[in-house]
Amino acid sequence: EESEKLKIYDLLTSKEKKMFLNTSFENLIMVNPNMMNIEDESIIEVSPFRIPTEDGLMKRIIDIAVALIGIVITSPIMAVTAILVKKSSEGPVFYKQIRITKDGREFEILKFRSMGVTAEKDSGPVLATSNDMRVTKVGKYLRSLRIDELPQLFNVLLGDMSLVGPRPERPFFVDQFKELNPHYYLRHNVRAGITGYAQVYGKYASDFNSKLNFDLIYIKKYSLILDLKIMLQTVKILFDKVSSRGVDESERAILSEQEIEARGIKVIY
């Protein structure tokens, strides 16, 4: 209850204790408020889940400049990768897939193909997992080093993506996530990114609600400095195998009934 919250806040404030709140939508919406004065009253204006226009323009200019430089620098790597992909398995060098970006617009994301051409022929759309049997031998290295993501620099040039932003999802999963969380659409107020706040500061294998919270925090806290920090952190974790995982099935431990009860958990049938 609101009255109980106020009592707790008062107590912690009087004892000079730190307060930690969870990332519920109620709390997220209060991040980065604008302070206003109306006559003699101080008012808190809630900031929107959008990047200011002037910051968005500067972000776009930086995206274009860095993408052009990145394509020139990594062109030898992309050329070698294209040859390896072509020789390692049948099918095209590049993999195109429909994803969702700003304002819910669909676009074709470009990657080096790391799976067999019939990876989802029978299963339909599924999320990638650790030790995914659909991934080719060359694909495992491409994914672990994030080399398969390099062609997305062309998506940045085209304006479909940004260097930093929420990772783009497929329409099939977006429709499901929207049904599960009514605030999911807010992440589409900005361009999708090659890397993002959720990939750097949250574990890549976390559930979609956790990643959504990180994405909304990014939009609320946005600054060019934050983008720079995320890009530098991305370089730092490039060789961290955990960062390149999908839904990690290896971490879903299977315990016996005895082991569960030994942990003090009562099993009810």
39 & 81 share domain:
no
Is residue 260, in this structure, part of any structural domain at all? no
29 & 69 share domain:
no
The per-residue pLDDT for range 203-258, each reduced to its tens digit, is 654 678 888 999 999 999 999 999 999 999 988 877 665 444 444 433 344 555 66
203 & 160 share domain:
yes
Is residue 102, in this structure, part of any structural domain at all? yes
Is residue 122, in this structure, part of any structural domain at all? yes
102 & 171 share domain:
yes
The per-residue pLDDT for range 100-126, each reduced to its tens digit, is 999 999 999 999 988 876 555 554 555
25 & 120 share domain:
no
41 & 59 share domain:
no
60 & 138 share domain:
yes
76 & 171 share domain:
yes
- Sign, CA torsion 190/165/194/74: positive
Q: What is the pLDDT of residue 8?
A: 92
38 & 144 share domain:
no
Is residue 29, in this structure, part of any structural domain at all? yes
| Total number of domains in the chain | 2
Is residue 28, in this structure, part of any structural domain at all? yes
68 & 161 share domain:
yes
Is residue 167, in this structure, part of any structural domain at all? yes
pTM score: 0.77
Of the residues 45, 61, 78, the one at which a domain ends: 45
6 & 102 share domain:
no
- Show the domain range for 30: 2-45
Q: What is the DSSP letter of 98?
A: E
Is residue 257, in this structure, part of any structural domain at all? no
CA dihedral 123, 129, 130, 132 (to 10 degrees): 20
Q: What is the pLDDT of residue 139?
A: 83
Residue (of 47, 63, 53) closest to 186 by Cα position: 47
73 & 130 share domain:
yes
Cβ atoms 106, 171 nearer than 8 A: yes
Cβ atoms 203, 242 nearer than 8 A: yes
Is residue 38, in this structure, part of any structural domain at all? yes
